[in-house]
Chains A and B, each alone.
Chain A
Amino acid sequence: MTAVLTRRPGLARIRTAGSPLHHLCLAVVVLVTLAAVAAPWLVPHDPNAVDLGSALAAPSAGHPLGVDAAGRDTLSRLLLGARTSLLGPLGVVVFSTVAGVAIGTAAAWRGGRLDTLLSRSTELVFAFPGMLLAILIISVYGEGLLAPVLALAVAYLPYVSRLTRSLVLAERERPYVSAYRVQGHSALQICLRHVLPNIAPVVLAQSTINFGYALMDLAGLSFLGLGVPALTPDWGRMVFDGQTAIQHGYPLSAVLSCAAIVLTVVAFNVVGERWADRVARRDR
Chain B
Amino acid sequence: MSFAGFAARRLLEMAVTLFAASFVVFGALYLAPGDPASFLLAGRSASPEALAAVKAQYHLDDPFLVRYGHWLGDVLQGDFGRSLTYRTDVSRLLADRLPTTLLLVAMALLVVAVVGLFLGRLAAVRGGATDSAVLVATTFAVGTPSFVAAVLLQGLFAVRLGWFPSSGAGEGFADKVWHLTLPAIALALYLIGMLARVTRSAMLEALDSEHVTVARSRGVPERQVIRRHVFRNSLGTVLTTGGLVVSTLLVCTVLVETAFSVGGIGQLLELSTSTKDFPTVQAISLIIVALFMTVNLIVDLLLPLVDPRITLGTRGAAA
Contacts and interface: CB of A to CB of B under 8 A. Distances in A.
Interface of A: 21, 123-124, 127-129, 131-132, 135-143, 212, 216, 219-220, 223-226, 236, 239, 242-243, 246-247, 249, 251, 254-255, 258, 261-263, 265-266, 269-270
A20 to B, nearest CB: 11
Given A127-B17, A131-B251, A132-B251, A265 B145 contact: yes
Interface residues of B, number: 52
B12 to A, nearest CB: 13
A44 to B, nearest CB: 26
A139 B33 CA distance: 12
B289 A247 contact: no
A198 B159 CA distance: 53
A140 B142 contact: no
10 contacts: A21-B136, A128-B289, A137-B28, A139-B28, A139-B272, A141-B32, A224-B258, A242-B151, A249-B159, A265-B143
Interface of B: 17-18, 20-21, 24-25, 28-29, 31-33, 39, 136, 139-140, 142-148, 151-152, 154-155, 159-160, 166, 247-248, 250-252, 254-255, 258-259, 269-270, 272-274, 276-278, 281, 285, 288-289, 292-293
A74 B43 CA distance: 34
Contacts, number: 130
A246 B139 contact: no
A224 B21 contact: no
B140 A140 contact: no
A132 B143 contact: no
* Most chain B CB neighbours (cut-off 10 Å) among A223, A226, A262: A223
Nearest to B145: A216
Contact of B139 (A138, A239, A270): A270
A219 B28 contact: no
B288 A239 contact: no
Give the top 4 A-B pairs by smallest Cβ distance, nearest first. Answer: A266-B143, A265-B143, A246-B155, A216-B145
Contact of B151 (A140, A249, A258, A270): A258
Given A219-B147, A223-B147, A239-B148, 10 more contacts: A127-B21, A132-B251, A142-B276, A223-B255, A239-B151, A243-B155, A255-B155, A261-B145, A265-B143, A265-B145
Q: Say whether chain A's binding surface is mostly helix, strand, loop, or mixed.
A: helix
A136 B285 contact: yes
B31 A141 contact: yes
A71 B197 CA distance: 42
A131 B270 CA distance: 12
Contacts of A140: 28-29, 31-32, 39, 278
Contact of A269 (B20, B28, B142, B273): B142
A32 B87 CA distance: 47
Contact of B31 (A127, A137, A261): A137
Given A251-B155, A265-B143, A139 B258 contact: no
Contacts of B259: 223, 243
